[in-house]
Structure 1
């Protein structure tokens, strides 16, 4: 069975909404909800920007799959997503926030990310939705439609049921997570993390820093990095303008090769392995100009790759090793995965006194950051009692 255009009911529980009237009616029905469970389905294999194909919304009493492809706009839903009185409950929010910013012009707020929350409850670092549902509901989710092309119409009933499960169970799990957080006294610990999720700057393209995401950059140095920065920024803007995958403009391997060779004419440019003839014809002169301009920059203008931990010498490495033990100790007594709190790089950032160190922010500072800092400053002394690490304040 497939869902035909104009249908409003998939099952007695799930609605499929593909008309403006249906969307307005549904959003009006749930407008008084304190929270909604939210998920999206999209495709981006052939585009730069993700194409929103389905929005799933659930409350304790209603569930709908909304078809943005059929709808002229998402106005009523956007109003709900941006209503400060309605919490948007998501799991692993980043991609959902990115595409909803693109589709509605703003990032939904406020947001509650269950992936972040369950890490604070000791269920591991960055666990998937299916694992979370298994923990809380003892259910094994169907994975039969993970490769669905959500842009194809009509959608089958089984596909919509699969998509609906992403919010159906989320709406059941969310109150359980709130209860667990409240019982542990951690309900307010996540406010900074959740506020950061709604920061628009996290989801906007940054062409000038696109070079940092290219694996081959680790083999480059000096002026070669300047060339890579210029070429990667050009590729990013081309992909954005044409709405094409970046690899369709130039592959990462070609960018790295161009940066290493820094060709000066079309003949040498044509020898770069992987550079297609059509790209050479259309953009050859542009690429050469970008290389020349980047090579002419003074050394002070070359981009700096994050190098070895600045200020972390052998003596500091020993301190980081001890701090890792402190981190594991604090994680154990708080029943949280150490990886959910901090990484070794975070600890190194603490010893470098970086002001934006994650370990000194929000709940991470409360659980471990301040303890490690107090030990480093001599306010805490490590002891061993009953064959376990113990901490004495002020040496007492």
Structure 2
């Protein structure tokens, strides 16, 4: 690993095209992004970093206008793209150039596959594998300022240099453990999910307390959430800047019919009342008129405490496989998959495998989980 060469700033289309041609010849590139997302719906990219294993390159998204060479690199099947905990990076690329990195090697996921830890932070991974303590002062920098400071550039460059070094350590370990296909299957699923924006009509299902609402109130929530989602995208404003989530459930329960009533809600920003208050009141009135046959699907309640015995029994299956494979148990059998399985038949069964249990996990332990769940329900106790 060499960090002697200073990072190269790329701010010309032709220059980016030339470098992308060279990167297309490599087996892998390390990729990172710096972005700002305080009041916008979409992340605003401030810097794209590429590391070739020896040197770091800084691509200036405020100057580049032709992203087609980078799209070719991101989508090239012969070049592995190495990122860490990359869900937000994927959003950056999707919005910036409509392309996503594939094949993708996520070093956080790889660490979990190797049993190092689940959801391991980048700084700790660098410390554990490379013995380097990272400075933290630039993590909340203004990446849209120009010129970027020398410290910012060095911080961004170090990220991709270290990321490449981590990949050279983790990739052979993953291969030796026979886990490469499983890891790439998981990251391909991450990429597929990143392509899909939430359907505005289904946005109400993401509201944490929605399950507490009555069916008629849920109809109002659906209308407000659909409007909020569409407007957030159209205006490129954060959802909570338009209408805070904490006010949504109280709003649909009390259903104000004047701006004065709306303004009295706790957490209701005066800006929301001023800019969109009348619209919100009209939307509530429209939603009240929706006939019961058109009310949305209810949001499932949290599983009752009684389900914990079954969840615990099923969780042991994942733990057993994780121990045998040397993987983090949380990655082998995810909580949301467990809960989805229990929901298919709780409390008395019969159970079925949920759509959330896919790929290698379904093949590895699907039948075992299903048999155990059905045995549990028939006996009322662990098998």
Would you say same fold, with TM above 0.5?
yes
Of residues 180, 194, 198, the one that matches 2:191 is 198
2:78 paired with 1:85: yes
CA distance in 1, matches of 2:336, 2:234: 36
Which consecutive unaligned segments of at least 5 residues does structure 2 have? 345-350, 376-382
Aligned partner of 2:30 in structure 1 is 37
Alignment of 1:286-297 (within 5 A): 286-297=279-290
CA distance in 1, matches of 2:271, 2:233: 19
Aligned partner of 1:334 in structure 2 is 325
Aligned partner of 1:362 in structure 2 is 359
2:236 paired with 1:243: yes
Aligned partner of 1:372 in structure 2 is 369
**Aligned to 2:181, what secondary structure does the other structure show?**
coil
CA distance in 2, matches of 1:90, 1:202: 17
Point out the more displaced range, 322-331 or 31-40: 322-331
Which consecutive unaligned segments of at least 5 residues does structure 1 have? 1-9, 379-390, 392-396
What's the offset of the Cα at 1:281?
A: 4.8
Aligned partner of 1:117 in structure 2 is 110
Q: Deviations over 1:45-70 (max 9, x none)?
A: 13221101100001124420111112
Distance 1:277 1:64, change over 3 A: closer
Of residues 79, 84, 103, the one that matches 2:96 is 103
CA distance in 1, matches of 2:209, 2:302: 17
Distance 1:327 1:237, change over 3 A: same
Point out the more displaced range, 238-247 or 88-97: 238-247
The answer to whether the Cα contact below 8 Å between 2:30 and 2:51 also exists between their aligned partners in 1 is: yes
What's the offset of the Cα at 1:165?
A: 1.8
Distance 1:366 1:184, change over 3 A: farther
The answer to whether the Cα contact below 8 Å between 2:353 and 2:366 also exists between their aligned partners in 1 is: no
What's the offset of the Cα at 1:250?
A: 1.7
CA distance in 2, matches of 1:76, 1:85: 15
2:226 paired with 1:226: no
The answer to whether the Cα contact below 8 Å between 1:14 and 1:164 also exists between their aligned partners in 2 is: yes
Point out the more displaced range, 153-162 or 129-138: 129-138
Aligned partner of 1:323 in structure 2 is 314
Of residues 165, 175, 178, the one that matches 1:172 is 165
* Larger Rg computed on CA atoms: 1
The answer to whether the Cα contact below 8 Å between 2:104 and 2:184 also exists between their aligned partners in 1 is: no
**Aligned to 2:26, what secondary structure does the other structure show?**
coil
CA distance in 1, matches of 2:353, 2:321: 22
Distance 1:366 1:136, change over 3 A: farther
What's the offset of the Cα at 1:21?
A: 3.1
CA distance in 1, matches of 2:227, 2:139: 34
Q: Deviations over 1:310-351 (max 9, x none)?
A: xx895x653333222333233222222222222454224334
CA distance in 2, matches of 1:308, 1:225: 16
**Aligned to 2:361, what secondary structure does the other structure show?**
helix
The answer to whether the Cα contact below 8 Å between 1:30 and 1:59 also exists between their aligned partners in 2 is: yes
Q: Taking structure 2 as the reference length, what is the TM-score of the superposition?
A: 0.85
The answer to whether the Cα contact below 8 Å between 1:38 and 1:55 also exists between their aligned partners in 2 is: yes
Aligned partner of 1:349 in structure 2 is 340
**Aligned to 1:198, what secondary structure does the other structure show?**
helix
Aligned partner of 2:301 in structure 1 is 307
The answer to whether the Cα contact below 8 Å between 1:334 and 1:367 also exists between their aligned partners in 2 is: no
CA distance in 2, matches of 1:277, 1:338: 46
What's the offset of the Cα at 1:96?
A: 0.9
**Aligned to 2:203, what secondary structure does the other structure show?**
helix
Alignment of 1:52-91 (within 5 A): 52-91=45-84
Kindly report the root-mean-square deviation, in angstroms, between the aligned alpha carbons of the 2 structures.
Answer: 2.7
The answer to whether the Cα contact below 8 Å between 2:10 and 2:57 also exists between their aligned partners in 1 is: yes
Distance 1:345 1:77, change over 3 A: closer
CA distance in 2, matches of 1:367, 1:355: 13
**Aligned to 1:41, what secondary structure does the other structure show?**
strand
Aligned partner of 1:7 in structure 2 is none
The answer to whether the Cα contact below 8 Å between 1:107 and 1:199 also exists between their aligned partners in 2 is: no
Aligned partner of 1:138 in structure 2 is 131
Aligned partner of 2:145 in structure 1 is 152
The answer to whether the Cα contact below 8 Å between 2:321 and 2:332 also exists between their aligned partners in 1 is: no
